[in-house]
Amino acid sequence: MKKKIKKFNIFSSVSFLPLMPLVAASCKKNDNDEKIQIINNESNPQTSKQMTPPNSHGDQSKDDSSNVDKTTDAKNNSEKSEPTVTPKDQSDESRSKAGKNDNVNTIPMNNDEEKKLKEEQKLDPVLQEVLDIWNKDFKNDIWEKWSYGEIFEKLKSKIPDSKLELVSKPDIKPTPDSTNPPFVIKLNNSNQKLELPFGKVWPISSETKYNGNEATSIGYTEDGKIKRFKESTNKVPEHLPKFIYSLESAFKNSTQKEIENLDKWDTSNISYFTAVFSDAKKFNHDISRWKTDSALSMFNMFSGAEDFNQDISKWNTSNVTEMDGMFWDATNFNQDLNSWNVEKVTSMINMFSNTKKFNSNLDNWKPKSIRSVNGMFANSNFNKPLLSWESHLPTGYFNVDQFKNGNNKLEDNNLPEKILKLLNEYREKVKASNDRK
């Protein structure tokens, strides 16, 4: 009986050898298919598994199989947080050739074949740009409120004329703390696809959380407005979620001179800085590196911030339309703002009212869109010439009432003719009104 078993084992080993190349080719083909379908791993549980090559070394085959499974599991887990690229289409013939040349029992690929495979797996330059922008502006900042279609449109707006196409269903909405369907895009003229990892998905709204006077998480409304911090807050998270677009009254009435990590916030998506430091009397933190490219309103931003006197000369104000009361009662402020672009600003009501110390040149300003400078320098000590404004001021009427009420240092001969003319008309109306009393 022992002899029969021995002969059977020998026969089995010999008869198996001719089948080895066929199995190897099959393994390679499945491996390629796995890479092509890998984007669908999360949504399609029937995706084919990697085949383990047959092993003729007895019990060692069990260990090898186990190692392969562990490697595959680790690979799949990694792919959930990393971008996944599908290779460009390969013909059946090329796959077959690759399969024949990529097995432990066959000859490895030659240099030409290896080079060709690398080229096929190389990320398209446009998709590489998309990936870079995604990692910088979107990953870990996905909002539950956005649908896949809305996320895609936001991404496309960053890369005009890129001819991107959304492969995923546009009406899906991501949810926090769960596995979401893959977010997949492609180029219209290419079969190469790119799955972009969401990272953290933020809930629709959130409350501010504290550990003593440290804010450990940032609260915000379902409209994307930040929630006001308590007045004693002295530390905030380094990361400001990028879907927040308004900092209105965030640190109003703050009692702190500095707020740790505030200077690290990326404010490039903030449109409204309205009253963010209003009446924060002691506040004097260096926020010179804040990005204000998207800013539309700086209404009352530092009003009542009596101690604030930081250099903000490099802020981009080219899109700002409201500067009403921006430094009203900021009694210690006196920084250079002459390089600011104010061409879109329509209202500067009480902008420097009661600043006391502010007296920096503003002769480079071009207030082309201004509609009101009512009380702009009222009760201040500003006395710099503004004659250069004349050629940039709009024609027709704009409100100059109380432009320099209570300011005895800004002389009429330093005012542009258009402002002086309207100001004299206002004075006559006030005088006539008083005479009637």
Three-state SS string over 32-64 comes to HHHHHHHHHCCCCCCCCCCCCCCCCCCCHHHHH
What H or E segment, with its residue span, contains residue 431?
Answer: helix 417-436
Least confident span in 122-126, 177-181, 271-275: 122-126
Burial class (CB in 10 A: 0-12, 13-18, 19+), 59: exposed
Tokens 């549980």: give the residue. 45
What H or E segment, with its residue span, contains residue 134?
Answer: helix 125-137
Tokens 């029969």: give the residue. 4
Which DSSP string do the residues of 334-390 spell out, in sequence order? Answer: ----TT---TT--B-TTTTTT-SS-----TT---TT--B-TTTTTTS------GGGT
Task: Report, in angstroms and rounded to the nearest whole number, the Rg of the chain calculated over CA atoms.
Answer: 34
- In the 8-state DSSP scheme, what is residue 190? -
- In the 8-state DSSP scheme, what is residue 408? S
* Per-residue pLDDT at 123 exceeds 80: no
* Per-residue pLDDT at 258 exceeds 50: yes
* Per-residue pLDDT at 226 exceeds 60: yes
User: Higher confidence at residue 149 or residue 67?
Assistant: 149
What's the average model confidence in pLDDT over 46-75? 41
* Per-residue pLDDT at 297 exceeds 50: yes
pLDDT at 115: 59
Question: Which one, of 345, 338, 395, lies nearest residue 373 by Cα?
Answer: 345
Provide the residue type at 69 as one letter. Answer: D
What's the average model confidence in pLDDT over 397-413? 96
Q: Which two tokens stand for residue 36?
A: 């092509």
